[in-house]
Structure 1
Amino acid sequence: MNLRIPHDAWVIVCDARKAMFLRNEGSPDEPRFAVEQVKEAPANPPSAQQGTERPGRLQNAVAPTSATDATDWHELAEKEFARDTAAALKLAGQSGRPRGIVLVAPPRILAVLRQRLDAQSRSRILAEVDKDLTKYPLHEIARILSGA
């Protein structure tokens, strides 16, 4: 990647179920991340346990009745978690804590985060990385982002 992450900048590594707020305690050349906060999504049971109703029907004026799509409860939960992550980042930004922010998330989650971030948080973004690194240890995340 070859990112130069400034000292005290935050790296937000998240997916649909977990968000890690990391702070660079090292230098831009040799990042060393410390965990500031970890957020995890609540349990998301199988769809059969969440909504057992059949999909709705639409009565069209000139065509036969058609079915609507079934609600994807898991997708809704993912978007809600991304919104909560953006809200936590906004709250941290109000205290003036992160000097810069690097967002690391899969493309779908990154898109929801972009939509939900306020202008102040958006102005602090240094880079966006469309990868899922939540299962990697901190030293591996630092190595991948810095390109070392």
Structure 2
Amino acid sequence: MKLPHNAHVAVVDGNRFMLLRNTGKPFEPTLEKVDQPELDPSNFSAGVRHQDDASQRSGATDLNELAHGAAVSEWLNAKAVSGDLTQLMVMADPKTLGEMRRHYHSELERILVGEIDKTVTGEPLEKIAKVIAES
């Protein structure tokens, strides 16, 4: 997948979030860490559609993880609206990515250059860059 030079990459799962930047070429990304904000996941309405008893008992839904995805979207929305982010790729596990999409501001949608539904938060930056290049 093409990742423009200086584009940002949000790497997210239900507990962690880091913001990276591509300092390499579009088809040969080189990533550097820009920020790892500590967020307060307070939007517990995020998982309202997942609050059935069966999912809660089986552990299939973690409202804290969904609220974290919503908090990341809110943070990214603010950066997109303020102009701090101009090109963004989002990499997140499928459940978190689905929740994040529900909270995207139109300005964030405008600056998206791609999304990858894969869990890579614990991986080294070189491996994340390789996943992007091969997608």
Q: What's the TM-score once normalised by structure 2's chain length?
A: 0.79
SS of 1:116's equivalent in the other structure is coil
Say yes or no: does 1:116 pair with 2:103: yes
State the identity as a percent. Answer: 28
Q: What's the TM-score once normalised by structure 1's chain length?
A: 0.73
Aligned length: 121
Partner of 1:58: none
Q: Deviations over 1:64-116 (max 9, x none)?
A: xxxx8289496110111011100110121123122211111111111111001
Is the CA contact (8 Å cut-off) linking 1:107 and 1:131 kept in structure 2? yes
Q: Which runs of 4+ in 1 moved over 4 A?
A: none
The 2-side partners of 1:130 and 1:30 are apart by 20
Is the CA contact (8 Å cut-off) linking 2:10 and 2:91 kept in structure 1? yes
Distance apart, 1:144 and its partner CA: 1.6
Greater helix fraction, Structure 1 or Structure 2: 2
Larger radius of gyration: 1
The 2-side partners of 1:143 and 1:69 are apart by 40
Q: Note the aligned Cα RMSD (angstroms).
A: 2.4
Task: Pick the aligned partner of 2:53 from 62, 69, 72.
Answer: 69
Is the CA contact (8 Å cut-off) linking 1:7 and 1:25 kept in structure 2? yes
5 Å-filtered alignment, 1:54-133, equals: 69=53, 72=56, 75-133=62-120
SS of 2:102's equivalent in the other structure is helix
Unpaired segments ≥5 residues, structure 1: 43-67
Distance apart, 1:141 and its partner CA: 0.5
